[in-house]
Amino acid sequence: MSQPETLNQAFELGYTYTRSTGPVIGRFLTALKNRKIVGIKASDSRVIVPPMEYDPDTAEELSEFVDVGEQGEIVSFAWVKEPRESHPMQVPFAWAMIKLDGADVPMVHCVAAAAESDIATGARVRAVWADETIGFITDIRCFELV
């Protein structure tokens, strides 16, 4: 009796859909791809970066975009002596809340610095862009001290 033919079918695990990031987050990520940073005006006119879709206090839908600078000021920082495997840098660095020029609300990102003593609240930083920008928050590779 002959062996039954083995049925084969190629299979690639993958998602058959793409996800839209929408008009607000999408606009921010598209701007990053173009090496620009945009924020949005809250109900009380404060500029939020990265932009939010709705005002957290009034629940108002937000739509007024504002270009902000790629430099800013450190509002708070945490010095990471021993980076975790998943962290964006594998040498000591800082996480920081950074208020960009033209923004009122600080954003969280990482800051490259040689030593903890080099960094301080109030220090000026500027965005360092990734070699290739793809429309992701990591298009800003990190911030560096000015």
Partner 1 sequence: MKDIAIVAYQQSDSVSDAGAVNEVELIMPVLARTFEQAGLNSAQDVDFVCSGSCDYLQGAAFAFVSGVDALGAVPPIKESHVEMDAAWALYESMLKIRMGHADSALIYGFGKSSPGDLPTVLSQQLDPYYLAPLWVDSISLAALQARLMLDKGLITERDMAEVVSRSRRNAMNNPHAQLSGDISVEDVLAEETFLSPLRKADCSPISDGASAMIIATVDQAKAWGLPYVVISGIDHCIETHNLGMRDLTDSVSTRMAANHAGMNAGKVDVAELYAPFSHQELILTRALGLDKETQVNPSGGVLAGNLMMASGLSRIGEVFNRIVKGEAQRGIAHATSGPCLQHNLVTVLEKGENA
**Alpha-carbon distance values, 38 to 17, 114, 134, 138 (Å):** 27, 29, 16, 15
Question: Does the protein bind partner 1 through residue 136 (CB under 8 A)?
Answer: yes
User: Taking contact as CB under 8 A, which single stretch among the options 7-15, 60-68, 124-132, 134-142 is the one that binds partner 1?
Assistant: 134-142
Beta bridge partners of 140: 129
Q: List the one residue from 38, 40, 48, 113 that touches partner 1 (CB under 8 A).
A: 48
Residue 78 interacting with partner 1 (CB under 8 A):
yes
**Rounded Cα distance, 114 and 92, in Å:** 8
Using the minimum distance from each CB to partner 1, give the nearer residue, 106 or 125: 106
CA nearest to 94, candidates 120, 70, 55: 120
> Which residues of this protein are in contact with partner 1, per CB under 8 A?
21, 25, 29, 48, 50, 52, 56, 75-81, 84-88, 95-97, 105-110, 116, 121, 136-138
